[in-house]
């Protein structure tokens, strides 16, 4: 059997027109007819209902069934291309979410340099959510991710590098009367990370769980900007401790009995791309980051 036929069939089942499908692939119309015939002959089943005229083409149950499998096969075929391109070019596309990268990268920099891996890394900077998508469809080879839950995609493997916590933070110039409790936070102005980040969901969870109605004055995707604003005492914020470790001018607000999900720093990769030795090396280095 032929991958081409599968592609033709896939397109046909979306397009619902032989001639349109033919146009799409820049082949003549009978090509599509014959491709379908081949598939039907191979499996001995009708795959499409030949209705009269117009875009009334419909898949039979067998056709729908085949479609499902074709999806997977063609997806796997894409991954082949991505993976072999990586191995060929010796360039590894690494997903890097800013907060995590700034925290982790200094810890491995020397090792990466010594192992001559710095030049093989092609950094793709983006939010964790987007990066996970890119990973799944093969556009990324490996990624650091921040997440409150562990990936449940069976095609992805992962290592937990750290389990951090979310913190409420404020400028050191901002003085609170202790002990602080959650209700006090309603009086404060909040500066937050925007919807690209997991932080927003966790913050929402937090406000609902503890019945806080916060006054959010500004949202940004730039966590450095956020930290600077907090330092200037423009407002308080909610962020993973990852972002503030070793950061001056900021205090963590101790709230008794605050219960939030963990913030995992993960190294994630497709398990089918493990045969690449360069990638292996990279995984080893990141998954054995020394504390401090």
Partner DNA sequence: TATAATTAATAAATAAAATTTATAGGTGTT
Partner DNA sequence: AACACCTATAAATTTTATTTATTAATTATA
The footprint of a copy of itself (CB under 8 A) covers: 1-3, 43-45, 61-62, 64-69, 72-73, 76-77, 79-81, 83-84, 87-88, 153-154, 272-277
In whole angstroms, what is the distance from residue 245 CA to residue 203 CA?
A: 20
Task: Rank residues 81 and 215 by Cβ distance to a copy of itself and give the closer one.
Answer: 81
Give me the count of residues in the chain.
292
Task: Rank residues 6 and 112 by Cβ distance to DNA and give the closer one.
Answer: 6
Binding mask 53-72 for DNA (x = CB under 7 A): xxx-x---------------
Side-chain half-sphere of 280: how many Cα atoms within 13 Å?
A: 6
**Residue tagged 């406000």 (tokens):** 207
Q: Does 2 bind DNA (CB under 7 A)?
A: yes
Q: Enumerate residues 6+ apart whose C-beta is below 8 A from 179.
A: 254, 256
For residue 30, the partner it binds in DNA, a copy of itself, none, with Cβ less than 5 to 8 A by kind, is DNA
Q: CB–CB of 251/233 below 8 Å? A: no
In whole angstroms, what is the distance from residue 235 CA to residue 227 CA?
A: 10
- Binding window for DNA (CB under 7 A); candidates: 23-31, 80-88, 179-187, 283-291: 23-31
| Binding residue (CB under 7 A) for DNA from 10, 29, 272, 278 | 29
Phi/psi for 104 (5° steps) reads: -85, -35
| Smallest distance from a copy of itself to CB 62, Å | 5
| Smallest distance from DNA to CB 83, Å | 22
Side-chain half-sphere of 10: how many Cα atoms within 13 Å?
A: 15
Binding site for DNA (CB under 7 A): 2, 4-5, 17-20, 22, 26-31, 33-38, 50, 52-55, 57
């Amino acid at each position: 059997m032929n991958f081409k036929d599968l592609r033709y069939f896939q397109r046909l089942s979306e397009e619902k027109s032989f001639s349109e499908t033919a146009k799409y692939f820049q082949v003549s119309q009978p090509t599509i007819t014959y491709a379908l015939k081949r598939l039907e002959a191979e499996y001995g089943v009708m795959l499409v209902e030949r209705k009269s005229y117009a875009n009334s083409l419909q898949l039979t149950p067998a056709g729908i069934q085949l479609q499902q499998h074709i999806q997977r096969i063609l997806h796997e075929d894409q991954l082949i291309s991505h993976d072999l391109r990586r191995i060929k070019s010796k360039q590894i596309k690494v997903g890097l979410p800013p907060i995590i990268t700034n925290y982790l990268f200094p810890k491995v920099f020397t090792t990466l340099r010594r192992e001559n891996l710095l030049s093989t890394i092609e950094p793709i900077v983006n939010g964790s959510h987007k990066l996970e998508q890119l990973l799944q469809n093969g556009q990324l080879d490996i990624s650091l991710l921040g997440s409150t839950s562990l990936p449940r995609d069976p095609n992805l493997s992962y290592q937990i590098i750290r389990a951090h916590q979310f913190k409420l933070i404020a400028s050191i110039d901002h003085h609170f009367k202790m002990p602080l409790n959650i209700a006090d936070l309603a009086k404060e102005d909040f500066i937050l990370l925007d919807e690209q980040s997991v932080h927003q969901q966790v913050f929402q969870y937090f406000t609902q769980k503890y019945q806080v109605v916060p006054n959010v004055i500004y949202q940004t995707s730039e966590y450095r900007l956020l930290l600077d604003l907090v330092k200037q005492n423009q407002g308080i914020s909610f962020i993973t401790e990852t972002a503030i470790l070793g950061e001056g001018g900021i205090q963590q607000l101790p709230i008794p009995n605050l219960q939030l999900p963990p913030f995992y720093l993960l190294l994630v990769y497709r398990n089918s791309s493990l045969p690449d030795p360069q990638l292996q090396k990279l995984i080893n280095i990141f998954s054995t980051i020394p504390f401090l």
